[in-house]
Amino acid sequence: MHQLLLVSLWLLAAFPSSSIFQRPTRSPAAPHLQYLLEPLHAAVHTQRGATATLPCVLRALPRNYRVKWSKVEPANYGESVIIITNGLYYKNYGPLSPRVRLRHSHRYDASLTITDVTLEDEGRYRCQLVNGLEDESVSLTLHLEGIVFPYQPSNGRYRFNYHEAKRACEQQDARLATYQQLYEAWTEGLDWCNAGWVLDGTVHYPIIHSREPCGGRLLLPGIRSYGAKDKQRDRFDAFCFTSALQGQVYFIRGHLSFKEAGQACRNNGGAIAKVGQLYSAWKFSGLDRCDGGWLADGSVRYPITTPRQRCGGLPDPGVRSFGFPSKELRTYGTYCFAGT
């Protein structure tokens, strides 16, 4: 009995009710597909600026049918139609219209090709065969390789309502991260004690090292959640997501004010870099500099790929921040961005 009690206590400690680990639930059986082939892989991985194809192939052609592609929009609780075809003709819809086409490599192929992939293209897509009472569909996820970064404005933490957080990310060459992107970033080491909005209107923060006041020392590492909050009234930080750049971030050394930093970038054929662009260059191009530099939002940051004592002394790679110093201060250089 004593041993059983110890085992029970150990299990409670290892898997508390607030843990990120949950008891698996039995999913309903997938509907039988008569005409559509189940895709081999449920996710297609790509980067910003690339061309991606979401597979949808028919095993047989019904007499009268249509195939409808749509994008599932969890933030709006709906779907946006992208393209409809009857096998001979097709019609595009919505903002994706100029960048989508059917691959149509053979008569059974209804795969969707997206060119010049953007951050907003990330998400779940549905290929639906419309055939009277025998409608069926397959779902796929377009997954962008990228990086999540926490963001707050110059006037301190917890200043954004949902809509302001969304705009702030867009202004920094990013978008609000999805919960799945935040979770993946946590598995890769993101540890941040301030709560922030994600795309579906919920609020979370990721913790690797349990500590006070980040939920307490007794809770296991994981994603702490505040759930859905009022998008107008409640205020938090933002978790932004960006992907690979179509261009280059570079550093100009000097003792520049913020205004002089912007001019220096323009004189070199670029523009002062945004926060998302610096994170992208650090993540995808291995940008590594010990020099603080101005960015477009008035912050001063620097990217470290190989940690060393003289560059902040922190043991992990990352983008370090000096916050938002006075824009008149002539202490830093600047990071610039030049597109291709």
pLDDT digits (tens, 9 = 90+) for 98-108: 999 999 999 99
User: Helix, strand or coil for residue 120?
Assistant: helix
The DSSP output letter for 325 is -
Which CATH fold topology does 245-339 show?
Mannose-Binding Protein A; Chain A (3.10.100)
Strands (E), 257-327: 271-272, 293-294, 300-304, 318-321
Q: What pLDDT sits at residue 3? A: 36
DSSP 160: B
pLDDT at residue 270, as a whole number: 97
pTM: 0.83
Residues of the chain with confidence (pLDDT) below 50: 1-30
146-242 — its CATH code?
3.10.100.10
Q: What is the pLDDT of residue 25?
A: 38
pLDDT in the model for residue 21: 32
Instruction: Mark 107-126 as b/e (b = at least 16 C-beta within 10 Å).
Output: eeebbbebeebebebbbbbb
Amino acid at residue number 295 = L
pLDDT for residue 112: 97
Task: In whole angstroms, give the CA distance from residue 144 to residue 176.
Answer: 13
Q: Residue with structure tokens 């101005």? A: 294
| Separation between Cα atoms, residue 169 and residue 162, nearest integer Å | 11
Token pair listed for 334: 């600047």
Query: What does the buried/exposed string (b/e) look like for 2-36 if buried means 16 or more CB atoms within 10 Å of the residue's CB?
Result: eeeeeeeeeeeeeeeeeeeeeeeeeeeeeeeeebb
Strand, helix or coil for residue 116? coil
Query: Can you identify the CATH homologous superfamily of domain 36-144?
Result: Immunoglobulins (2.60.40.10)
Q: Is the CB of residue 334 less than 8 Å from the CB of residue 256?
A: yes
**Spatial CB neighbours of 5, under 8 Å, sequence gap ≥ 6:** none
**What are the boundaries of each domain within the chain?**
36-144, 146-242, 245-339
C-alpha 204/C-alpha 91 separation (Å) is 40
Domains 36-144 and 245-339 agree in fold? no
- The per-residue pLDDT for 54 is 98
How high is the pLDDT of residue 136?
Answer: 92
